[in-house]
Each structure stands twice: as C-alpha cells, then as structure tokens.
Amino acid sequence: MGRIPSKLAILNRVHVLRAEKKISQQALADEIGVTRATINAIESGGYNPSLELAFRLASFFDTGVEDIFQIEGKKK
C-alpha cells in the first residue's frame, strides 16, 4: 500500500451535476442550506466541504459522495 500524501487534490462534479439539473448556484445553495458563495467556492475547487455537506450534496443529486468528489489522478 502506497503512502497517502498529506495534501490531497480533490476534484468535484458539482458544476456538472448542477448543469444537468439545470439549477442555479443560488437555488442549489438554498436547497442545501449554504450561501451561493460557498457553492461557487466548492465548484471552483477553493473549498472542500465537510463530510456532512458532501452527503447533503450527494443526497440532493441523488448519487453517492464518491460520484461527486474524487481524488485527482485516482480512477474510480
């Protein structure tokens, strides 16, 4: 088993999933109880959400957390 780096680059598909659902950042933010700036920060990769928020996003998009968030360079 390889050593896990101390800092993981986490990619997410929130932008894609939101586009598929055809909803705005504000609408998504209202649905999961955060600000629009937080959705923007998550989509741009500037902020990695907590586990709770990740599960809330997964629940909203009706998918698994691993379908939204992946470690860069690691295939599912």
Partner 1 sequence: MKKYDRIIVKLFLFTLPLAMLLGFIITQMNMNDFAPGSGRDWFNSFSGLVFAIWMLQTLYISARLILSNSFRDSILPRLAFFKERDEREALITGQAARHSFLTTLALLIFFLCLSLFQVAVYKLPPEQAVAGKTGTLTLGVNMDLLAQGQSAAHSSAGVDYFRYSGLPLSNTGIILMLIFWQLASYNYFAKRLNLQS
Interacting residues with partner 1 (CB under 8 A):
33-35, 37-38, 41, 46-47, 49-50, 52-53
Contacts with 44 (C-beta within 8 Å, 6 or more apart), sequence order:
none
Nearer to partner 1, 6 or 50 (CB): 50
Nearer to partner 1, 20 or 37 (CB): 37
C-alpha distances in Å from residue 47, one per residue of 12, 22, 28: 11, 22, 16
The nearest distance, CB 3 to partner 1, in angstroms, is 27
- Report the nearest approach of partner 1 to the CB of residue 2 (Å): 29
13/42 Cα distance (integer angstroms) = 10
Give the nearer residue to partner 1 in terms of CB position, either 22 or 52.
52
Tokens of 10: 């986490």
